[in-house]
Amino acid sequence: MQSSEDVVRYLKTTPNLDIETYTTAVKRCSRLRGDKAILQIVSLTSWKSFALDGVFCNMVLHGLGYCGKFELQREQFDEWFVKEQSKLALNPDIKILTTMINGCAKQGKGDNFDQAVYYFSLLVDTYNLKPDVFVYSTMMLICANARNLQSAELFWQTAQSDPSIEVDALLLAAILKVYANCRETEKMIALLRTWQQPGQHFVTLDSTVCKTVLFGLLRSEKTQQLCEFCAHEFPALMKANKIPIKDYIGSLLVLVHVRIMQDLLSSSSSSLSSSSSLEQSELEQRLAYHHRCIVQLFEHELYPQARTTPTKIEWIDICYMLQACVLRHNAHWMDAVKDVEAILFEPNFIYPFAFWDTEKFDERRTVINFEATPTSIAIFFLRYFMTFQRDELMRRVGRGPVLIVCEKTRSSRREGKGKNHALADAITESDWESPYLKKKEVKKELHKWKVPIRLESDPHNPRVFSLNQQDVSTFFQTVPPGEDCLKS
């Protein structure tokens, strides 16, 4: 049957079907995302006076949750098991209550915590059922979404004290996610060490736990702790649990090195004028080291095939590579040009983004698209186009002004990041500023040039900004192509 309507039609026109057939029909409709059909099937069972069983009820509730209809899921649960006028002579079992708790977790909102506790209370107190590992871990994930550390630790302690519960990667990942979301990184690392001791307290981990730990450290912005963990403990953790560095974890490790480079530059900028040549040399060496680490991860772990064959590269990974080049040559931006061009013009790199774009409401106008880039990259490419790509720039804009676009919504940023949607949650404002901050930084940048250029709002589109044409003309007349645009 190709549609949920076909399923309902079959049930209506075929006599003498049993409840197992209706259960299978609900399963089929859930896969087809037919929430309305699922409710129609429930109505049919009532009309035909079927004696419902727990398997059917759980399949309906699971199907509604699978379709994302969590409000309907709660209403149906209440209809069957809460309302006094319910005709169902059946109590919810562990599977049904687990489905309802899992529905709260899937919504990913902290305000579902009370609802989840209600179902947990029904499970333990009302129906005297025994929670399993999945229930405890799901409750802790809900606590993580709600940033409810106290309740999560209570669930963790209760699970540990239950002799029938064996701590596994699922349970450990849940409590680690709580600590990560609550920025309790010391507790997170201490717990991880406890359960990685050889012998009785060793839990074999999977890549999810490693991602959770890295996320927690990235969110905490404790760069020194992040650096030490990745340098000393993380490689041993991956090796002991036989987890390969690929895809997601590789991108996270690249982000780790980018963050460390940012922190090195930030901490040195305040004392830059008083720094000795030795300190400057050490800074250059450390930046070069982290840049090499990023290149090695990119070439050997993330995209080894790109050395010989055309390969699709995620835009977020391209961004990190470009950021690494810009940060590596922060003191002399023009030194980064060679490395940046090697990335942009590598024939084997296929990535879904171009800086040149057409204006959304007027396709005759060309804009420089900085929507999906961090501010540091936007500033670098503004310098690059005005210094090394003038002919191309003027060919594209014609007689009009140079137009740039900064604004991009969070959801759009995620779309630009392809496979790594969740990486967006690890990236703070220091990496991907709001459109307002990006515009502010670009405006500040243009005032640092040998011929300052004013940034103006475009009268046709509030998302677009233009470089003052007279200032650009004066800049081109004063600063030769290939000469540093910045004031000495």
**pLDDT tens, residue by residue, 66-97:** 999 999 999 999 999 988 777 777 899 999 99
pLDDT at 417 over 80: no
Torsion, CA 318, CA 324, CA 325, CA 326, rounded to 10:
110
The span from the CA of 54 to the CA of 239, in Å, is 44
The answer to whether residues 42 and 23 touch, using CB atoms and an 8 Å cutoff, is: no
Question: Of 201, 279, 272, which is closest to residue 240 (Cα–Cα)?
Answer: 201
- Higher-confidence position of 480 and 314: 480
Segment 54-63 mean pLDDT: 95
- The answer on pLDDT for 411 being more than 50 is no
CB neighbour class for 74 (10 Å; exposed up to 12, middle 13-18, buried from 19): buried
The answer, yes or no, to whether residue 117 has pLDDT greater than 60, is yes
- Give the residue carrying structure tokens 């040009």: 337
- Stretch 311-327: mean pLDDT, rounded? 91
d(CA 244, CA 170): 19
Query: Strand 311-312 to strand 349-350: parallel, antiparallel, or no bridges (unpaired)?
Result: parallel
More confident residue, 363 or 186: 186
Q: Which residue has the tokens 């029909």?
A: 25
Angle made by CA atoms 157, 163, 166, in degrees to the nearest 5? 75
Nearest CA-CA partner of 181 in 426, 424, 420, 423: 426
Using a pLDDT cut of 90, give the percent of the chain over it. 57
Please, what is the Cα angle at 372 between 370 and 375, to 5 degrees? 60
Would you place residue 240 in the very low, low, confident or very high pLDDT band (cuts 50, 70, 90)? confident
Model confidence at 270, pLDDT cuts 50, 70, 90, reads low
Band the pLDDT of 198: cuts 50, 70, 90.
Answer: confident
Average pLDDT over residues 231-249: 81
pLDDT recorded at residue 247: 61
Mapping DSSP onto H, E and C, the string for the chain reads CCCHHHHHHHHHHCCCCCHHHHHHHHHHHHHCCCHHHHHHHHHHHHHCCCCCCHHHHHHHHHHHHHCCCHHHHHHHHHHHHCCCCCCCCCCCCHHHHHHHHHHHHHCCCHHHHHHHHHHHHHHHHHCCCCCCHHHHHHHHHHHHHHCCHHHHHHHHHHHHHCCCCCCCHHHHHHHHHHHHHCCCHHHHHHHHHHCECCCCCECCCCHHHHHHHHHHHHHHCCHHHHHHHHHHHHHHHHHHCCCCCCHHHHHHHHHHHHHHHHHHHHHHHCCCCCCCHHHHHHHHHHHHHHHHHHHHHHHHHHCHHHHCCCEECCHHHHHHHHHHHHHHCCCCHHHHHHHHHHHHCCCCEECCCCCEEEECCEEEEEEEECCCCCHHHHHHHHHHHHHHCHHHHHHHHCCCCEEEECCCCHHHHHHHCCCCHHHHHHCCCCCCCCHHHHHHHHHHHHCCECCCCCEEECCCCCCEEEECHHHHHHHHHHCCCCCCCECC
What does the pLDDT read at residue 215?
A: 84
pLDDT at 413 over 50: no
More confident residue, 85 or 255: 255
Euclidean distance between the first and final Cα of the chain, in Å? Answer: 72
pLDDT in tens, 429-471: 445 456 667 888 999 999 999 999 999 998 888 888 999 999 9
Lowest mean pLDDT among 241-250, 255-264, 329-338, 402-411: 402-411
Give the pLDDT confidence score for residue 84 in this predicted structure: 77
* pLDDT reported for residue 277: 62
Band of residue 182 on the pLDDT scale cut at 50, 70, 90: very high
Look-up of token digits 């233009």: 466
Model confidence at 57: pLDDT above 90: yes
Among the ranges given (100-104, 136-140, 311-315), the one the predictor scored with the smallest mean pLDDT? 311-315
Residue 64 has pLDDT above 90, yes or no: yes
Exposure of 388 by Cβ count < 10 A (0-12 exposed, 13-18 middle, 19+ buried)? middle
> What is residue 160's predicted lDDT score, i.e. its pLDDT?
94
Task: Please state at what angle helix 113-121 crosses helix 133-146, rounded to 10 degrees.
Answer: 150
- Measure Cα distances from 297 to 233, 252, 274 in Å: 18, 10, 35
Interstrand relation of 455-457 and 464-467 (parallel, antiparallel or unpaired):
antiparallel
Rounded Cα distance, 117 and 123, in Å: 10
The pLDDT value recorded for residue 414 is 41
pLDDT over 90 (residue 205): no
Band (pLDDT 50/70/90 cuts) for residue 1 is low
